[in-house]
């Protein structure tokens, strides 16, 4: 008799990533429910550092709003829920820990079939920092839109599997599926070096009396090679016929010898020496670098964007954390100027520059994405810096622009970076293009804050693609704060800097 494998022959559901103001991971697993329905568990994990907690007595409190929508393939709403949830932490250490999480679990009883799931989280204690967000009273939020749900049939009169649940830990005080705490990112390694997977085997009356069951767990790498093959013989806890049985199975695999990367788990079920089914339990990743675990995903993506070209970066974003770690590790090894030393000098210099940029040039999002932060990380500190936070007239900005356009133009600036004028000059004219009106304030004849960065040669780039040939004339970058809110854009740069 063949196993009913509708739960496994189709591709196993993959973990989903929320998009918006913060990241969260979503995963699902379906088990046999009552009256022919599936008992489907939707689990979400969001890092404490992504949420806003406030002290409440001797605890720390967070508050989020959940929005859940499940539709069928015909577009009909099957589930539509909205609720507010209070989150609690006992210590500020857990609030600030990059490896402390909130795991949210929602459960639904649905008929087998195809569905679309949307899951949104709004942090009710974290207003958006943008001007529009503040005006509209919006909070930070993130959402998974239209994740595919394929709920399998698990007939009572046929042997079948549930979905596999990738588990973070097990609480022996609980019973049934609730004792297994899910791992929505499906990431293992540094902080959890044992792969744990829970699933249920359902046997009809005719097979429930078998004395033992045999399982084979097989871990396969992206090339299709089996890197681990484990055979388990498990006794039947109730060796008697008479009714259908639910047989809980926990698979554990030691991952300490696995390299970082992506893997796939397959399960094979055998009864009395005959293979009944081989099913794909799902994909997971292994990561050992502490930064993969503790640094927010967006900062790691910023590092990747700095190192990779646009086509490579688009592919990188779609990879699992383990695959991303593997690729970044190989890339940094290729940039190591002296592999014989115990440290990677290029990586250390990058981290130092990144830390400085985060401390001085962060505006909205990772500092490396800001105009000044990106140039600083790419070329290092400028040889000369002209900074005018409160310009007394428009001529100082015009002077800086002239320096950018002409590397031999003298700097007519005082030691305080103010242009040496005896009296402020005014500008009374109707002739002004859009660019001038953005840079000059006609109402008071003053300019906007700016910074002029001058590299006498080619800077100190980390990547070969940023090295320049015309070292004798150097590079100039002019950053302007157009609206006075502290957000600088790259207004103008020397032609050499754009190569």
- Is 473 inside any structural domain? yes
Q: Are residues 35 and 105 in the same domain?
A: yes
- Domain membership flag for residue 328: yes
Among residues 287, 322, 339, the one where a domain terminates is 287
Residues 419 and 480 in one domain: yes
pLDDT of residue 375: 92
Q: Do 33 and 131 fall into the same domain?
A: yes
Which DSSP state fits 497?
Answer: G
pLDDT of residue 258: 96
Q: Are 30 and 39 in contact (CB under 8 A)?
A: yes
Are 183 and 159 members of one domain? yes
Tally of domains within the chain: 3
Tens of pLDDT along the chain (499 residues)? Answer: 444 444 333 344 578 999 998 999 999 999 999 899 999 999 999 999 999 999 999 999 999 999 999 999 999 999 999 999 999 999 999 999 989 999 999 999 999 999 999 999 999 999 986 655 566 778 999 999 999 999 999 988 888 889 999 999 998 888 877 889 999 999 999 999 999 999 998 888 776 666 777 889 999 999 999 999 999 887 766 544 445 578 888 999 999 999 999 999 999 988 777 787 888 999 999 999 998 998 888 888 888 988 888 889 999 998 999 999 999 999 999 999 999 888 999 999 998 999 899 889 887 778 888 899 999 999 999 998 888 776 655 556 666 666 666 665 656 554 344 443 333 333 434 444 444 444 544 444 446 788 889 888 888 888 888 887 555 678 889 898 887 777 898 888 885 444 3
Same domain, 352 and 272: no
Q: Is 225 exposed, middle or buried (0-12, 13-18, 19+ CB in 10 A)?
A: exposed
Q: pLDDT at position 76, please?
A: 96
Is residue 263 domain-resident?
yes
pTM of the predicted model as reported, rounded to 2 decimal places: 0.78
**Same domain for 191 and 67:** yes
User: CA 283 to CA 220: how far, in whole Å?
Assistant: 9
The confidence score (pLDDT) of residue 369 equals 84
Same domain? 143 vs 281: yes
Shared domain for 237 and 163, answered yes or no, is: yes
Rounded to whole angstroms, the Cα distance separating 428 from 442 reads 8
Would residue 217 count as lying in a domain?
A: yes
Burial track 185-205 (b if 16+ CB lie within 10 A, e otherwise): bbbbbbebeebbbbbbbbbbe
Nearest alpha carbon to residue 210 among 184, 245, 177: 245
Query: Who's near 246: CB < 8 A, 6+ residues apart?
Result: 32, 200, 201, 202
**What is the per-residue pLDDT for 302?**
83
Q: Is residue 350 part of a domain?
A: yes
**DSSP-derived secondary structure for 3-61:** -B-TTTSSPPPPPEE-EESS--EEEEEEEE-STT-EEEEEEEEEEGGGS--EEETTEEE
Would you say residue 1 lies in a domain? Answer: no
Task: Give how far Cα 442 sits from Cα of 86, 263, 399, 446, 448, Å.
Answer: 51, 62, 18, 7, 11
- Contacts (Cβ under 8 Å, ≥6 apart) of 35: none
Is residue 378 domain-resident?
no
pLDDT at 398: 66
Strand partners, 265: 219, 282
254, part of any domain: yes
User: What is d(CA 193, CA 201) in angstroms, rounded to the nearest whole number?
Assistant: 26
Q: Are 23 and 163 part of one and the same domain?
A: yes
Considering the domain architecture, whether residues 483 and 454 belong to the same structural domain is answered as yes
Collapsing DSSP to helix, strand or coil, 337 comes out as: coil
Q: Give first-to-last CA distance, the chain, whole Å.
A: 67
What's the confidence (pLDDT) of residue 472?
64
- Listed in order, strand segments (DSSP E) in 236-364 are 245-254, 261-271, 274-287
Whether 261 and 330 map to the same domain: the answer is: no
Domain boundary, last residue among 287, 310, 336: 287
List, as one string, the DSSP characters of 392-426. SSTHHHHHHHHHHH-TTS---B-TTS-B--SS---
Q: Which of 252, 269, 287 is the last residue of a domain?
A: 287
Residues 348 and 443 in one domain: no
Nearest to 65 by CA among 20, 124, 117, 108: 124
Domain that holds residue 115: 16-287
């Amino acid at each position: 008799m063949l196993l009913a494998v509708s739960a496994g022959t189709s591709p196993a559901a993959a973990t989903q990533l929320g998009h918006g103001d913060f990241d969260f991971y979503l995963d699902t697993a379906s088990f046999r429910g009552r009256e022919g329905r599936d008992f489907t568990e939707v689990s979400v994990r969001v890092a404490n550092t992504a949420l806003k907690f406030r002290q409440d007595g001797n605890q720390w409190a967070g508050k989020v709003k959940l929005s859940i929508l499940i539709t069928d393939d015909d577009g009909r709403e099957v589930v539509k829920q909205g609720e507010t949830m209070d989150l609690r932490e006992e210590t500020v250490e857990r609030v600030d820990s990059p490896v402390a999480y909130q795991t949210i679990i929602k459960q639904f009883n649905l008929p087998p079939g195809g569905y679309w799931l949307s899951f949104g989280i709004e942090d009710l204690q974290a207003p958006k920092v943008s001007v529009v967000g503040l005006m509209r009273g919006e909070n930070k939020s993130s959402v998974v839109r239209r994740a595919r749900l394929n709920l399998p049939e698990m007939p009572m009169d046929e042997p079948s599997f549930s979905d596999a649940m990738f588990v973070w830990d097990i609480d022996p005080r609980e019973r049934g599926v609730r004792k297994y705490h899910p791992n929505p990112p499906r990431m293992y390694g540094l902080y959890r070096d044992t792969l744990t997977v829970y699933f249920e085997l359902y046997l009809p009356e005719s097979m429930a009396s078998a004395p033992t069951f045999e399982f084979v767990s097989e871990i396969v790498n992206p090339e299709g090679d089996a890197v681990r093959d484990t055979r388990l013989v498990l006794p039947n806890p109730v060796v008697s016929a008479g009714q259908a049985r639910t047989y809980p199975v926990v698979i554990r695999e030691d991952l300490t010898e696995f390299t970082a990367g992506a893997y796939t788990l397959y399960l094979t079920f055998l009864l009395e020496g005959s293979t009944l089914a081989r099913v794909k339990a799902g994909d997971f990743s292994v990561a050992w670098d502490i930064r993969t675990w503790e640094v927010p995903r967006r900062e790691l993506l910023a590092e990747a964007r700095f190192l990779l070209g646009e086509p490579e970066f688009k592919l990188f974003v779609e990879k699992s954390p383990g695959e991303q770690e593997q690729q970044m590790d190989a890339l940094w090894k290729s940039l190591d100027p002296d592999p014989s030393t115990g440290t990677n000098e290029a990586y250390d210099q990058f981290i130092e520059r990144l830390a400085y940029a985060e401390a001085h040039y962060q505006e909205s999002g990772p500092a490396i994405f800001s105009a000044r932060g990106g140039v600083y990380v790419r070329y290092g500190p400028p040889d000369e810096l002209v900074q005018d936070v409160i310009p007394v007239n428009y001529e100082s900005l015009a002077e800086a622009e002239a320096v950018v356009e002409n590397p031999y133009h003298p700097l007519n600036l005082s030691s305080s970076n103010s242009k040496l004028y005896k009296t402020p000059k005014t500008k009374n004219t109707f002739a002004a293009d859009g660019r001038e009106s953005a840079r000059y304030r006609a109402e008071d004849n003053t300019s906007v804050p700016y910074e002029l960065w001058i590299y006498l040669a080619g800077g100190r780039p980390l990547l070969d693609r940023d090295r320049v040939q015309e070292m004798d004339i150097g590079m100039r970058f002019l950053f302007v704060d157009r609206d006075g809110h502290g957000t600088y854009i790259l207004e103008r740069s020397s032609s050499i800097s754009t190569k």
